[in-house]
């Protein structure tokens, strides 16, 4: 623009290249929305006999990452309600201590308890870490987003699976 006048296509590089700016913006916005939706899309899973047998990811869970997620008060926040045997942090006692949980429950049973514990106990206070539908009183910034990603769920399951009862 020169003095309030339209300067013509020479001042608009995209127009000079024969590209429609509105079309480009529409495509960019659509791509961003699709990427956002894909990032938030949950991996489908099947519950059979009280467990989710198939992992949610092709990449195996990493117990070390799972330990960090479970002990982080902001990410997984398991320590807010559970005592973790190998974590030196102030822990809550709302839920059971998790020492030996890997001896008592299979990976599939652990996975279901992390993904959506309400399928086993509808009145539980434990949050569903990988569910977005049917939740109440969720802050707007978190609606439609799981607490943990599929890979984080697998990492936590791998960690919990290492918590075995000591041999006697």
pLDDT in tens, 80-138: 999 999 888 778 889 999 999 999 999 999 999 999 999 999 999 999 999 999 888 88
Domain boundaries, the chain: 9-40, 63-162
**Whole-number pLDDT of residue 43:** 95
Question: Distance between the two ends of the chain, CA-based, in angstroms?
Answer: 83
pLDDT in tens, 128-143: 999 999 888 888 888 8
Q: pLDDT above 70 covers what percent of the chain?
A: 74
Instruction: Using the predicted structure, report yes or no on whether residue 16 has a pLDDT greater than 80.
Output: no
Spatial CA neighbour of 161 closest among 44, 51, 42: 51
**Whole-number pLDDT of residue 9:** 45
| Homologous superfamily of the 63-162 domain (CATH) | Cytochrome c-like domain (1.10.760.10)
Rounded to an integer, the average pLDDT of 140-163 is 95
**d(Cα 24, Cα 43) in Å, to the nearest integer?**
31
Q: Is 126 within 8 Å of 117 (Cβ atoms)?
A: yes
């Amino acid at each position: 623009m020169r003095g309030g006048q339209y300067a013509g296509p020479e001042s608009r590089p995209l127009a000079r290249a024969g590209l429609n700016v509105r079309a480009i913006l529409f495509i960019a916005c659509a791509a961003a929305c699709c990427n956002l939706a894909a990032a938030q899309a949950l991996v489908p899973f099947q519950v059979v006999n009280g467990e989710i047998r198939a992992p949610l990811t092709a990449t195996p869970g990493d117990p070390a990452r799972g330990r960090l997620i479970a002990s982080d008060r902001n990410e997984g926040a398991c320590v807010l309600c559970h005592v973790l045997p190998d974590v030196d942090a102030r822990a809550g006692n709302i839920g059971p201590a998790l020492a030996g949980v890997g001896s008592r429950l299979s990976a599939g049973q652990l996975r279901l308890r992390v993904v959506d514990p309400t399928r086993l106990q509808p009145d539980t206070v434990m949050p569903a870490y990988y569910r977005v539908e049917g939740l109440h009183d969720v802050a707007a910034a978190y609606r439609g987003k799981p607490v943990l990603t599929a890979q984080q769920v697998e990492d936590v399951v791998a960690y919990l699976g290492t918590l075995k009862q000591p041999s006697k």
